[in-house]
Chain A
Amino acid sequence: MTAAALETLPGSPVGAPAERIDHPLRGFLRQRIGVIGLCMLLVAFVVALAAPLLAPYDPYAPVRVTILDIYQAPSAAHPLGTDDGGKDVLSALIFGTRVSLLVGFSAALIALLIGGTVGLVSGYRAGRLGAGLMRITDVFLVIPDLALQIVIVAIAGQSLTNIILVIGVLGWTTTARLVRSQTLAVRERAFVTRARAIGAGDLHIMRRHILPLVVPLMLANTVLVISLAILSESTLAFLGLGDPTLVSWGQMLNYAFTRGAVSAGAWWALIPPGLAIVWVVLGTTLLGTALEDVFNPRLKRHHLEADEATAVADEIRTDAAAPAVVAPDGAAPLLSVRGLCIEFESPAGPLRAVDDVSFDVGRGETIGLVGESGSGKTTAVLGLMRLLPPGGRVVAGEVRFDGRDLLALPPDELRAVRWSRLSIVFQGAMNALNPVRSVGDQVAEAIRVHEPRIGRRAANARARELLERVGIGAKRASDYPHIYSGGMRQRAMIALALACDPELIVADEPTTALDVMIQAQILELLAGLAAELRMATILVTHDLGVVAQTCDRIVVMYGGSVAEEADAVALFGTPRHPYTQLLLSSFPDVAHPDRALRGIPGTPPRLDAMPRGCRFAPRCPHAFDRCRVERVPDYPAGPEHRAACFLLDPAEAGRHG
């Protein structure tokens, strides 16, 4: 699983709170800016409703003015001075709120009705009607709004109704696009197809199944449309196209600006109406942003934010646990992981995804890291390479690669080690390759980064050679990833991983999403190349069948820690941990095709609810009291074989079957 998958897995920190997701309202209240925006709007509403009570003068009442009344500076009688007609600016400002809000909300209503209908119909009827409607939307999208508004209001007449109609009728395009794409997405969901299959009418399906999913998304858009309508109204009024019988902010600015307020230095006639527009638009925008965050949350991943330095906690405990029981014969291992602990931030505090994981990889050795989704296997390998997504940190442990601690390397030395000595084949090669650069170019880039003196031509030649070697053919080097098939992309990813002759390749679920035939080819390719080039390999997978064919040694992970480690023969022959035993019995066995397959009852533990003792105890058929309270250490279970299970404790011997 890649970091992408990590976010959606049941046991993973980000995916975990899915079932107890907050009520939308609570999420909204947490968004302080949304509350601020709402309050700003409420103030505007109160002012609009109570205008006659609040305003010191009636801006619509005719007054006799003398030249001395014009552009009077603020005073006790006129807190915001007077305008070009000698009228009170504050009163006009208060009454102007009415026009702004009235136009904003009624125009937005029209826009939403039109846009919503067009979007729903064109999304639901994706055929000719839908395409036609979308084309019309596209035409409207390119016509400059303001120019068209000016032309129509100029011809049709400057009445409030015309202004509302024009802004509303021209403002529907964004809503139509949004609703259409959401409808298209919902239309294909299972419950809609099911409803259609049992003969539900279109109207019924729209009302009961589609609208409930489209409307929340429209909320944020509604707010945006309102703020645009308010801006449009004030702009038209400023350009002299407002309703001359009404007092509005844009018109106040128009009169002041065209009638000498600037040269008179009468800032009070210019600044307050402008700020009033800003107040309302800012309020709606803040509200809209908050709603957008609640109903349409953005991705939180950010692969560059976790800079090399921050992916590892400032102070790491390296008192790191006892050495692994299993040590490959004599020689120092290429990679030695000791007591690796990784935590993810969460609102409820840090969650431990990987707890005290230790294993070794010898030179040229292939080990399998096996576990269910959420067992922490991918997190462990990403952590040891310091490639954790933001929010994830290595909090304890030691990762010795050829004697040097990777966790303590300064960023530039770490970069030098990456790929040249330690590379990775990611899970979904679709997204692991950059779509706008050719495959050969991406392979050559890796070579050039680590061997700066090699020329562009030589690097390209080697990239083609590598692609040839993984069975793609040098001719395809200049192609872009999107024209490759899934299997070819995975082959390209392997070529990329081989680019700098690394000593260790981490293959993270290299064959998920590929069909079985291709899976076998890819695994064979990987195993063949590893043997030929004497590379060590860590194969991360949930598939025991895969590791059985290719791995020398297998590490089984459960709930973030190592359950059992043994060489392949011992693990498949005499599994000692109950989890491994159950895992094996849930896979088909070629030798005993008549054996009944059994699933493991229960579900993997969640990170925020880890069992106190043995993590597997709640699902274990052999669990006894001690398993539920005491942490399990590793027990030797044979030559180069260890398992974290109390059944192996000599003190328990004989007491349990």
Chain B
Amino acid sequence: MTRGRGRYLLGKIAWAIVTIAIVVTFNFFLFRVLPGDPAKSGMRDPRLNPAAQAALQERFGLDRPVFLAFDGGNPFDSQYFAYLGSLARGDLGTSYAYRDQPVAELLGRGLVNTLWLVLPAQVLSIVLGTILGLIAAWRRKTLVDVAALGFALVTWSLPTFFLGIILLFFGAAWFDLPTAGRETIGAVYASVWEQVADFGSHLLLPTLTLTLVLLGEYMLIMRSSVLEVFSEDYILTARAKGLSTLRIIRDHALRNAMLPLVTLIALNLGFTVSGAIQVEAVYSWPGLGDLTVDAVGRRDYPVLQGAFLLLAVAVVIANLAAELVYGWLDPRVAEG
């Protein structure tokens, strides 16, 4: 039993490592294969003198073979392994646009801000989505259920950025809420609390947008999951045992219904990232998404490459976490 579970965990962790390796390699070649990198095209600029070109090439390591070196020397003395080496040291290169800013530093700041946005939205939407989905399933075909379905349908059909724009429009007009950045520019705070309040008011609209977008999805998943569980024979057993409806839901339906929810939340993490990118773009929230979109505009490839890698790896790790939670919730995984 415990051995089965241990093997399950090891298998999942190994698979996550393999996935990250694939993502890293893919990320490396994506930026080598596709045209348009200024560092590469700049080097072929005839206006540069050959010495400067060679210096540039050497600085970026572009004089080395791409994948494996077959020139008799060390076969790993290649661009790919140099990239892996610097990744291992936490070195993601230097930004083109923000001169001499290490990409890792930019990304670190962005990640913190993104988490400030994503974590509250994720927690809020999971909690509310679970409760509302449960109620909708339990009261199937009543007004509550129809309203919940309608809400999910509308939030699904609304592009996240459009919902963001609408909330921004009305939030600014009616409630005078700040609509850009994470703090009032040039503000001098009398106390820490004032600073926290300022940060909070900046966070309010972006978080609300992301929560609403995720909420409909989670509600639907929970609803169909609960409906599935309600049709199981063990619920009939629980009823026959004389358990009250509330007790059946709490002790027999909830945990079983959470199982597919956990899996689907994990599978939907990409969806969360895409939501965060859009929300950050609308509210100029200085997170990874904003950084990514900004880097596209400035053709800042090192930042783009690093941001994509970080997002992908974050999703793989969050996915792994969800798998581990699943293994803990469901005794049957020891088999698989």
A residues contacting B by CB (< 8 A) are 2-4, 138-139, 141-148, 150-152, 154-157, 227, 231, 234-235, 238-241, 250, 253, 257, 262, 267, 270-271, 274, 277-278, 281-282, 285-286, 298-305, 307, 385, 387, 414-420, 423-424, 426, 428, 431-438, 445-446, 449-450, 480, 482, 496
Contact = CB atoms under 8 A, between A and B. Distances in A.
A434 B169 contact: no
Max chain A C-beta neighbours (<10 A), residue from B166, B242, B245, B269: B242
B311 A270 contact: no
Contacts of A419: 240-242
A262 to B, nearest CB: 6
B200 to A, nearest CB: 22
Nearest to B240: A424
14 contacts: A2-B236, A3-B236, A139-B23, A142-B312, A145-B270, A231-B159, A240-B293, A270-B169, A278-B159, A304-B253, A387-B240, A432-B234, A433-B234, A437-B251
Contacts of A156: 34-36
A439 B301 CA distance: 57
Contact of B165 (A154, A274, A434, A446): A274
Nearest to A258: B281
Contacts of B243: 415, 445, 449
Task: Specify the main secondary structure of chain A where it touches its partner.
Answer: helix
Contact of B237 (A154, A253, A416, A433): A433
Given A428-B233, A482-B332, A146 B274 contact: yes
B318 to A, nearest CB: 9
B63 interface: no
B308 A302 contact: no
Nearest to A438: B331
Contact of B335 (A148, A267, A302, A482): A482
Contact of A304 (B179, B233, B235): B235
Given A299-B227, A305-B230, A480 B293 contact: no
A139 B315 CA distance: 11
Nearest to B173: A265
B76 interface: no
Contacts of A227: 157
Contacts of A157: 35-36
Nearest to A234: B159
B2 interface: no
Contact of A482 (B169, B239, B304, B331): B331
Contacts, number: 235
B277 interface: yes
B242 A417 contact: yes
Interface of B: 15, 19, 22-23, 30-31, 34-37, 138, 140, 153-154, 156-162, 165-166, 168-169, 172, 179, 224, 227-228, 230-245, 247-249, 251-253, 255-256, 259, 267, 269-270, 273-274, 277-278, 281-282, 292-293, 296-297, 299, 301, 304-305, 307-308, 311-312, 315-316, 319, 329-332, 335
B312 A144 contact: yes
A303 B236 contact: yes
Given A235-B159, A278-B158, A482-B331, A299 B293 contact: no
Contact of B159 (A274, A286, A434, A496): A274
A387 to B, nearest CB: 6
A155 B305 CA distance: 11
Contact of B256 (A155, A239, A417, A435): A435
A142 B319 contact: yes
A235 B274 contact: yes
Task: Specify the main secondary structure of chain B where it touches its partner.
Answer: helix
A480 B332 contact: yes
B168 A436 contact: no
B168 A262 contact: yes
A240 B224 CA distance: 37
Contact of B234 (A139, A257, A434, A482): A434
A480 B310 CA distance: 40
A434 B231 contact: no
Contacts of B158: 274, 278
Contacts of B238: 434
A155 B30 contact: yes
B45 to A, nearest CB: 19
A426 B236 contact: yes
Nearest to A282: B157
A428 B234 CA distance: 10
Contact of A302 (B15, B140, B165): B140
A445 B166 CA distance: 51
Sorted nearest first, the 4 A-B pairs with minimum C-beta distance are A146-B274, A418-B242, A431-B233, A274-B162
Given A270-B165, A307-B245, A148 B240 contact: no
Max chain B C-beta neighbours (<10 A), residue from A387, A436, A449: A436
Contacts of A420: 242
Contacts of A262: 165, 168-169, 172, 179
A150 B166 contact: no
A315 to B, nearest CB: 23
A385 B240 contact: yes
Contact of B19 (A139, A238, A445): A139
B237 A147 contact: no
A596 B91 CA distance: 87
A235 B161 contact: yes
Contacts of B312: 142-144, 147-148
A253 B331 contact: no
Contacts of A300: 231
Nearest to A302: B230
B305 to A, nearest CB: 8
B278 A238 contact: yes
Contacts of A146: 270, 273-274, 277-278
A286 B267 CA distance: 23
Contact of B267 (A141, A155, A253, A301): A141
Contacts of B267: 141
Contacts of B240: 385, 387, 418-419, 423-424, 426
B149 to A, nearest CB: 9
Nearest to A422: B240
A274 B140 CA distance: 31
A293 to B, nearest CB: 12
A305 B145 CA distance: 13
Nearest to A230: B159
Contacts of A151: 30, 304-305, 308
Contacts of A434: 234, 237-238, 252, 256
Nearest to B179: A262
A286 B157 CA distance: 10
Given A262-B172, A301-B230, 13 more contacts: A145-B274, A146-B277, A147-B277, A147-B308, A148-B312, A152-B34, A155-B30, A157-B35, A238-B278, A281-B159, A285-B153, A305-B140, A482-B332
A446 B241 CA distance: 6
Contact of B281 (A239, A271, A286, A303): A239
A435 B332 contact: yes
A157 B249 CA distance: 53
Given A145-B274, A150-B293, A449 B241 contact: yes
A3 B239 contact: no
Contacts of B232: 303, 431
B270 A304 contact: no
Contacts of B231: 299-303
Contacts of A142: 19, 269-270, 312, 315-316, 319
A40 B159 CA distance: 18
Contacts of A235: 159-161, 274, 278
A426 B236 CA distance: 9
A242 to B, nearest CB: 12
Contacts of A285: 153, 156-157
Contact of B34 (A155, A426, A482, A496): A155
Contacts of A414: 242
Max chain B C-beta neighbours (<10 A), residue from A415, A420, A450: A415
B248 A304 contact: yes
A274 B331 CA distance: 46
